[in-house]
Amino acid sequence: MVEKVKDSSFYSNLSNIIMEISKVNDLDSAYKTLSKISSGLIDVDKEFFFKISEEDKVQEIFRTAYDADIEDMIIWSNKNLDVSIFPEENFSYVFVPIFSLNTKHFVYTAITKEDDFSNEMMMLFRIISFMTGNLFENLVLYDKILNKNFIIEKNKNFLNSILNSTNDSIVVFSENQEINFKNEKYDNLDEGLQQELNSIIQRTLDTEKNQSEEKEIEDKFFSIDSNFLEFENEKNVLLVIRDISGTKELEKMKKIDKMKMEFLSMMSHELRTPLSAIKAYSDTIIDSYEMLDNETLMEFFRTIQSETNHLSRLLNDLLDFSKLELKTLHLEKTEFNINELIQEICNTLEEFSNNNDVEIIFHKNESIKVFMDRTRIRQVIFNLIQNAIKYSDKEKEHRFVEITTEIKENNIIIKIKDNSIGIKSEDKEKIFDKFYRSDTSLTYEIQGTGVGLSIVKDMVELHGGTIELDTELGKGSTFILTIPRGVENE
């Protein structure tokens, strides 16, 4: 409680005033404090807080009734910016303008029965006038800042909710690769991918240019757009990461569709070629049988036989392919010597390799017993050796395909190495896809359907094995089969 000025010293009143004012922290309590300080100095019967507009319109802030006659005095006090006392018959008006350097806030008006206003009291009211003025100025400014902060916060929340509602992960990295901003989606992003972002961030910072790339992580595809941002002299990188697995899947399906169509037209062509040959040779035999000598006849029969074999291989491929697709292919495992099987394949392909000038090198060593589906494994190895010969490099003087076998733990490892045309690194995985044929002019010259390696891979996997490829374009390829040797009654 502020002591009455009459009963206490000027300085203790002053310190009380300062203390009361220092406790104020909002506009509401500022009015109450002013009222309290005033009542500490004089006996206040009634009090008003008048706001005066620029056009000198008077308005009581708390909308209480007042005598309109005093309006002129209020306006005068507001202009004069000094504490003034207007004595009436039984009471006095005390006008205290509350102002600061920039603003006239309001005029505090008290009605009091007091009639003795000492110099000290006037001085104290002047101090109140000035200090409360500054207090109001600060509180108004503070309110404005709060309001501004609120608006900024509101805008920030609005932007955040927009950034959180997108399906993209958005993140901003500083030059030190620390996160300055991220949306919620970024937090849910695969950790493996988060770790893969360093290189694109660094590249963006180094080049100061936007970058974009695609990444595949655990069967999912992501597009990453990296944007260089310079903000207040600081370098930042804004990343927008989008899951494009769906689009990729669609692209893949479209591609498979296209490949299927190509496969169909290729298959028709592949079937027609041996069929035409068979027809032409058999027609000639029937039409000119008597004119043909035995040797020519035999040559014709051989051609018919070889074309029939080719035709039957194509049809078998087709049949296997559809069985694998329908998952109706079952293995019939028996025990056999794998080296003997490979030797047999080499013998069968001898003529083909001679025609293509490719040497087959197979060091048939000790017998290795395996328990597998002999027909299917024959098909796998046959296909790989045949490909090595088919895709041999005409530019090379000595062309070869070398086959080795070895046992490692419970697996048999078969390596089929060639120095043929090799495979582009980007085709390394794709060549095992159905219908895929490498996009090179060399491949176009060679007959094929693009299903061979996909069948090979499926057959190896059906045996619980794997197929790896080590290749270099122009140098050659090594296909490495690792297949469990298998045990009886498996």
The binding site for ligand ADP (CB under 6 A) comprises 387-388, 391, 418, 420-423, 431, 436-438, 443, 448-454, 477
| Token pair for 484 | 């469990």
CA distances from 277 to 110, 265, 310 (A): 122, 19, 11
Strand order in the sheet with 58-60: 58-60, 44-52, 104-112, 92-99, 84-87
Q: For ligand ADP, which is the closer residue by CB, 185 or 390? A: 390
Amino acid, single-letter form, for residue 342: I
The alpha carbon of residue 159 and the mean position of all alpha carbons in its chain are separated, in whole angstroms, by 20
416, 364 Cβ separation under 8 angstroms: no
Q: For ligand ADP, which is the closer residue by CB, 333 or 417? A: 417
Q: For ligand ADP, which is the closer residue by CB, 183 or 471? A: 471
Q: Which letter does DSSP use for residue 154 in this model?
A: H
d(CA 158, CA 162): 6
d(CA 6, CA 13): 10
In angstroms, what is the minimal distance from the CB of 270 to ligand ADP? Answer: 9
In angstroms, what is the minimal distance from the CB of 331 to ligand ADP? Answer: 21
Cβ-based neighbours of 472, under 8 Å, separated by 6 or more: 422
Strand order in the sheet with 476-484: 358-362, 399-408, 411-418, 476-484, 466-472
In angstroms, what is the minimal distance from the CB of 295 to ligand ADP? Answer: 34
Q: For ligand ADP, which is the closer residue by CB, 307 or 418? A: 418
Q: For ligand ADP, which is the closer residue by CB, 196 or 393? A: 393
Q: Which residues pair with 44 in a beta bridge?
A: 112
374-390 vs 452-462: helix axis angle to the nearest 10? Answer: 150
Q: For ligand ADP, which is the closer residue by CB, 124 or 389? A: 389
Q: For ligand ADP, which is the closer residue by CB, 35 or 404? A: 404
In angstroms, what is the minimal distance from the CB of 281 to ligand ADP? Answer: 25
Q: How many CA atoms lie within 13 A of 238 on its CB side?
A: 10
Q: For ligand ADP, which is the closer residue by CB, 239 or 389? A: 389
Give the β-pairing of 92-99 and 104-112. Answer: antiparallel
| Token pair for 168 | 């993209």
In angstroms, what is the minimal distance from the CB of 313 to ligand ADP? Answer: 11
Q: For ligand ADP, which is the closer residue by CB, 221 or 479? A: 479
In angstroms, what is the minimal distance from the CB of 246 to ligand ADP? Answer: 28
Burial class (CB in 10 A: 0-12, 13-18, 19+), 285: middle
In angstroms, what is the minimal distance from the CB of 258 to ligand ADP? Answer: 16
In angstroms, what is the minimal distance from the CB of 273 to ligand ADP? Answer: 14
Q: Which residues pair with 243 in a beta bridge?
A: 222
Please, what sign has the CA dihedral across residues 351, 353, 359, 363? negative
In angstroms, what is the minimal distance from the CB of 245 to ligand ADP? Answer: 26
